[in-house]
Structure 1
Amino acid sequence: MTAILIVAGIATWLMTAALRRYALSRSLLDIPNARSSHTLPTPRGGGVAFVVAFMAGVLVLGWAGYVAPSVLVGILGAGGLVAVIGFMDDHGHIAARWRLLGHFAAAAWGLAWLGGLPPISVFGWPLHALWLAAPLGLLYLVWLLNLYNFMDGIDGIASIEAICVCLGGTVLFWLAGAPGAAWLPLLLAATVTGFLIWNFPPARIFMGDAGSGFLGIVLGLLAIVAGWIDPLLFWGWLILLGVFVVDATFTLARRLLRGERVYEAHRSHAYQYASRRHGRHRPVSLAVAAINLGWLLPVALVVVVLKLDGATGTLVAYAPLILLAIAYRAGEKE
């Protein structure tokens, strides 16, 4: 099975190169504007490479018996729909209401095939009731896929986040005694690594909405798969996603309080302020990797291995991230 990971990574690398040449030939470029964090026109849409490679790899893993049919159908259906919507938006424009409708449809599909939210509790309060778990599950997935799109604003950051979360999730699976569940996050990490070679600062191609939305919903669904193995694993994955969850949610909340239109483009995320303060994208994207591996993964390990309450562990993990968001002016008006 290791060969599948290697082939998937190389395939993504080659497809990204081909997509870059195609985008350049058709002038499919992301042109900098007043709200951009980059300064040079850059090809976009490269995320299609890891979408295709990952989905093909999932089919192979399913054929080999490493992925349950319900998980395969749920992830491929939901991820594929989000990727198609993003691809269409990358090449034209889809009204926000229709995008959102498609996102909810994809989330509902994924939840239905995975059996809904796992039996998690928040500070001892169970979220098992269908009337509560179903809407929470939908909001969780739709918010995660959209915040991933919001956070894909500087070179390499979304790719590095996905790789770190998947590798961290793999460690959690191994320590929880479920190594068989690690194949999907390892496959996603391998394909995104193939793309990162082209996306690492300074980026030679962007992933686009097709790639970022796909990563958001697939990572959200992998967390649900983990939760059905052990509810503490769901909390562990949520902790690993902390950098993106905190920055995007904190920024959105402050913009909402000011009465701004949250769906309009802006440059007020903490990571965007940080990239301008430090003058480059690379140190910020690498800092995200350092926070993931040096802080969030150890806290997630405490939750999963030492059985710390999941909600408590998440608060502990997120607290310094909130302070960082404040320090870097997340959500403040430029």
Structure 2
Amino acid sequence: MNMWWFLPAVAVVALFLTGALRQYALARSIIDIPNARSSHVVPTPRGGGVAIVVSFLLSLILATSMGFVAWPLTLALLGAGTGIAVLGFLDDHGHIVARWRLLGHFVAAIWALFWVGGLPPLTFFGFAFDLGWIGHALAVVYLVWLLNLYNFMDGIDGIASVEAICVCLGATLLYWLTGNEVLAMLPLLLAFAVAGFLYWNLPTARIFMGDAGSGFLGITLGVLSLQAAWVAPQLLWSWLILLGVFIVDATWTLLRRLLRGDKVYEAHRSHAYQFASRQFKKHLPVTLTVGAINLCWLLSIALLVGAGRVDGFLGVLIAYTPLAILAVKFNAGAKE
């Protein structure tokens, strides 16, 4: 079986499964009710991200059984992704105390790193550095932060889905241009799974992703970035660039709230994209702008870094500078 023909089927499964999950959420009253911290004004079902999880993991198992994906990577994604999705699903149904969620996040990250081999040597301006156990610890923090920031950034219609699709398709193009086509299957499968869900999540959303979907996307993208780094160190920098919109907005907001002494685990609406959506009074312009930034700015720099024409660390600085300016312009982290 040619796996490339399987891609549309993944999208179709996610599409219909999301519709079924919407009916389930409505029947069980799993609804996000708008409040002072919400960016939406209409009660909306949540938990649709489970469709992404199921369609991607089923396709992952099939791809692995056919020899397209190595089992260690599959075990990393299957174990960590399932754990995070279950934890998020339970939290969507009833609140789980933050410390227990965070413990689960660290367990999932350690599991994933065990199977992918930890953090590979990093390159800075042509020099390779093996950070050893310190690097592995940093990689755990990286995965935990990525899955949490993806949850933080899933606050308006379509934004988390559009980000995931742009990042995955950007990584696929990067792999193709750098001669690493063997890595392209999983980002493509994930992009098509998210595309099936996006039909239901475009403004005005008929269902939200929920913690199960956003956390799963965050840790899955993180694991794929570490896998790429073992193939070619500069590819990790390219992934960080592709994820720049979410990384800069979430990190800038978190640091500013920490410095102000806010309880960072409490819900808020102080990300740059949230201020922007209130300024424009619509979600769609902000979501489309995120896609445009990914495709027109970040992708080009990621490709240059992946091809070895620009140093990875320098590429990140170049890519993130205008994103930081946007974060300042839209008051990321300011009091609401």
Match of 1:194 in 2: 196
Letter of the structure 2 residue corresponding to residue 202 of structure 1: T
Residue number in structure 2 paired with 1:43: 45
Q: Return the letter of the residue paired with 2:99.
A: R
Q: Name the structure 1 match of 2:219.
A: 217
Provide the rounded CA distance (Å) in 2 between the counterparts of 1:180 and 1:302.
20
Residue number among 247, 250, 263 corresponding to 1:248 in the alignment: 250
- 1:100 maps to which residue? 102
* CA RMSD in angstroms, aligned pairs only: 0.9
**CA displacement 1:43-67 (0-9 Å, x = unmatched):** 0000000100000000000011110
- Aligned equivalent of 1:327, options 321, 326, 329: 329
Greater than 2 Å deviation, 4+ residue runs: 121-127
Equivalent-residue separation in structure 2 for 1:178 and 1:304 (angstroms):
11
The structure 2 residue matched to 1:57, chosen from 53, 56, 59, is 59
CA distance in 2 between partners of 1:245 and 1:133 (Å): 19
Segment drifting more, 307-316 vs 145-154: 307-316
From 58, 66, 69, the counterpart of 1:67: 69
SS at match of 2:333: coil
Counterparts of 1:129 and 1:206, CA distance in 2: 39
TM-score (norm: length of structure 1): 0.98
- Of 250, 260, 263, which aligns to 2:262? 260
Alignment of 1:131-146 (within 5 A): 131-146=133-148
Name the SS of the counterpart of 1:280 in structure 2.
coil
In structure 1, the gaps of 5 or more residues are none
- The equivalent residue for 2:90 is 88
Cα deviations across residues 185-236 of structure 1 (Å, max 9, x unaligned)?
0000000000000001110000100000000000000101111110111110
Distance 1:178 1:38, change over 3 A: same
Q: What does residue 206 of structure 1 align with?
A: 208
Residues 54-111 of structure 1, C-alpha deviations (whole Å, 9 max, x = no match): 0000000001111011101011111111111101100111111110010000000101
Counterpart for residue 153 of structure 2 = 151
Report matched runs for 1:148-187 at 5 Å: 148-187=150-189
- What is residue 316 of structure 1 aligned with on the other side? 318
Separation in 1 of the partners of 2:31 and 2:206? Answer: 11
Cα distance, 1:127 vs structure 2: 4.2
Corresponding residue to 2:241 among 220, 239, 242: 239
Superposed CA deviations along residues 4-44 of structure 1, whole A, max 9, x for unmatched, are 21111000000000010111112110000000000000000
| Equivalent in the alignment of 2:303 | 301
Separation in structure 1 between the aligned mates of residue 325 and residue 187 of structure 2, nearest angstrom: 29
* 1:230 match: 232
TM-score (norm 2): 0.98
Amino acid at match of 2:265: Y
Q: 1:8 is matched with which residue?
A: 10
Cα distance, 1:126 vs. partner?
4.4
Report the CA distance between 1:121 and its aligned residue. Answer: 2.5
Aligned partners of 2:62 and 2:11: how far apart in 1? 14
Secondary structure at the residue paired with 2:120? coil
Q: CA deviation at 1:304?
A: 1.1
Secondary structure, aligned partner of 1:173: helix
Q: Distance in 2 between matches of 1:144 and 1:122?
A: 22
Alignment length (residue pairs): 334
Shift of 1:125: 6.2
Q: Which amino acid aligns with 1:215?
A: L
| Equivalent residue, structure 2, for 1:283 | 285
% same residue: 61
Q: Does the Cα contact within 8 Å between 1:127 and 1:133 map onto a contact in 2? A: no
- CA–CA distance in structure 2, aligned partners of residues 147 and 126 of structure 1: 28
Give how far 1:302 is off: 1.0
Q: Which residue of 1 aligns with 2:111?
A: 109
Would you say the 8 A contact 2:121–2:131 is kept in 1? no
Contiguous gaps of at least 5 residues in structure 2: none
Task: Check whether the contact 2:234–2:308 (CA below 8 A) recurs between aligned residues.
Answer: no
Contact 2:123 2:234 in 1 (8 A): no
